[in-house]
A and B are shown apart, each in its own frame.
Chain A
Amino acid sequence: MNCRDFNHVWNRLLDDEPRSRRRFDAQFAATRLELESRLREHAAACETCRVRHRRFETLQRALRAWAVRPPAPSPSSPLLAERVLRAVAPRRRRARVVASTLAAAVVAAVAIGFLKPPLRPDAEIKPPPTVAEPATESSLLRAAVNNATAASWQLARLTTEPAARLGREMIDASFPTREPPVLELALLEPSPTPATDSDSFAPELFSRMGGYLTAGVQPVSTSAREAFGFLRPPTPR
């Protein structure tokens, strides 16, 4: 045996170390004894390998002592299992939860939009505040709510402004303080403005508007005539 063989044989013995604890056949034991004997012979003759031989013998015994030590205590099995199972829960279920949350948020945002006081016509629509934060689930949800709120406000603005203008035109046209068109004088009897009489004001106003519409009074736009067409007195056939 030379020094190279010496290293090789030692590694072979150490390779078998984990298996030697489980194998008890005579052939295996005899081979090991034979190899150990040859190693000792070489170590006795070689100064350099003698040092290595002592070190490997120490390592071999340390490995045997190390192999039978108690294992490090592992974490609680149910706790670990719960964490793992939560993490591997089907992604579909989580997606459904996120979708439901988003839908609820949109409904809530629309409801809030209707419940808020109407926007003044001259008021400016401000974009929702943007918050610089990492894109977490909650921040995405918040952004979705902000977008839905902004959309609701925009919708309210677009529909409220023409409606308000229409109403004002109608009311303006109904008051006799303005110089009425010639056609109106011919068709309607003038009457005092019942501004102080809250009970009679609305019916009077409506009937007057209906009369204007029947007569085709111009200050009222086509859209207004269509919108308030139900106030017209029935046309005799």
Chain B
Amino acid sequence: MDDSLLVEAIRAGDPQAPRELIARFQGVVFGLCHRMLNHRHDAEDAAQETFIRALRGIFGFDSSRPIRPWLLEIAANRCRTALASRARRPIPAGLGEAFDVADHRPEAANALDLAGELELAIGRLRPEYRLVFTLYHEQNLSYDEVARAVDRPVGTVKTWLHRARAELAGHLAERGARC
């Protein structure tokens, strides 16, 4: 079943269709949330909220569009909201560094690994830079789709992405990473 048929099945009340939507896109949605929030539980909550909002708003979705960018757009909004509420609450002592670490997987922790270094560097980017970088380079969205997801003009997205790359290149150089 392709994505547009899946959307129609959800709208028609097929009880299995929402499960199929979640199974099909949870990796993509969770991946973005985890990248943005750097915290597994927060990412799970954000992914859950993303699907809840998507299913509630499925009748308002333009089915001529692909569903994946739409889901990522909702996920990006949930992540921004989560980051904003996180910024408002005080971080307990000792946890500040934990948020700075991009991933806890063993391969990412290896400082000699170029991909692991990039993971760490992405985790240090400003949230808006990290979001456009992730949506473009990891989720493979186009500039237009990224612009829609972050609710900014394409020109702003390009500027943020170029700055993100420059910062990442600088971080890699500081860490002594060489090709």
Contact = CB atoms under 8 A, between A and B. Distances in A.
Interface of A: 7, 11, 14, 17-18, 52, 54-63, 65-72, 74-75, 77-78, 80-81, 83-85, 87-88
B127 interface: no
B76 interface: no
Contacts of A71: 27, 31
B134 to A, nearest CB: 11
A84 B137 contact: no
Nearest to A65: B115
9 smallest CB-CB distances across A and B, nearest first, come from: A55-B169, A65-B115, A74-B30, A62-B118, A61-B179, A66-B115, A59-B169, A84-B51, A62-B114
Contacts of A61: 114, 179
Given A63-B137, A66-B114, A85-B18, 16 more contacts: A11-B161, A17-B137, A52-B169, A54-B178, A55-B169, A55-B173, A56-B169, A62-B114, A62-B172, A62-B177, A72-B35, A72-B105, A77-B19, A84-B48, A84-B51, A87-B48
A14 B136 CA distance: 11
Interface centre among A14, A57, A72, A77 (most CB of B within 10 A): A72
16 contacts: A17-B137, A56-B165, A58-B173, A58-B178, A58-B179, A62-B117, A65-B113, A67-B137, A71-B27, A72-B103, A75-B44, A75-B47, A77-B22, A77-B23, A84-B22, A84-B55
Nearest to A52: B169
A59 B165 contact: yes
Nearest to A82: B19
Nearest to A8: B162
Contact of A84 (B30, B52, B107, B178): B52
A34 B140 CA distance: 24
Interface in B114-172: 114-115, 117-119, 136-138, 140, 161-162, 165, 168-170, 172
Number of contact residues on B: which range applies?
35 or more
B56 interface: yes
Interface in B1-40: 18-19, 22-23, 26-27, 30-31, 34-35
Contacts of B179: 57-58, 60-62
B29 to A, nearest CB: 8
Contacts of A69: 107-108, 115, 119
B36 to A, nearest CB: 12
A82 to B, nearest CB: 9
B115 A88 contact: no
B18 A81 contact: yes
A54 B114 CA distance: 14
Contacts of B161: 11
A74 B26 contact: yes
A75 B26 contact: yes
A11 B27 contact: no
A80 B165 contact: no
A68 B26 CA distance: 19
Contacts of A7: 162
Interface string B44-72: 10011001100110000000000000000
Contacts of A66: 114-115, 118-119, 137
B48 A58 contact: no
